[in-house]
Amino acid sequence: MVRGTNDLIQYTMAAGREDRNVAEYYEEGARLVLRSVKKVVKSAERKGIECGICGEIAGDLSLLPEIINTGIRSLSVAPFLIPRVKNRIRNIVFKGS
């Protein structure tokens, strides 16, 4: 499982969301991290290993199309986000948006 995407973003971007001096780079780094995740997913698929994403990025509705595009099929989000995330995934998969 791919875990700790909040940390992965922080390490990749060398910017923590809690540090106001560099916090703006944290969010934009999510897209860069998704490129890395896609590579991990492809490698894991070759080995028969399932990958998933947890953390804030998993519940970011604006990034869900890109998350789905990485090949990720398992998300861990806060319980209150589940209906929104499921609805957004349905719209992506069945309506293409």
Q: What is the pLDDT of residue 26?
A: 60
* pTM over cut 0.85: no
Q: Is the Cβ–Cβ distance between 2 and 37 less than 8 Å? A: yes
Q: What is the pLDDT of residue 55?
A: 77
Q: What is the pLDDT of residue 31?
A: 72
pLDDT above 90 for 86: yes
Q: What is the pLDDT of residue 2?
A: 45
Q: Is the Cβ–Cβ distance between 76 and 43 less than 8 Å? A: no
Q: What is the pLDDT of residue 82?
A: 95
Condensed to tens digits (0 to 9), the pLDDT of residues 7-65 reads 777 777 776 666 777 766 666 556 778 888 888 889 989 999 888 888 778 888 988 99
Q: What is the mean pLDDT of residues 63-76?
A: 90
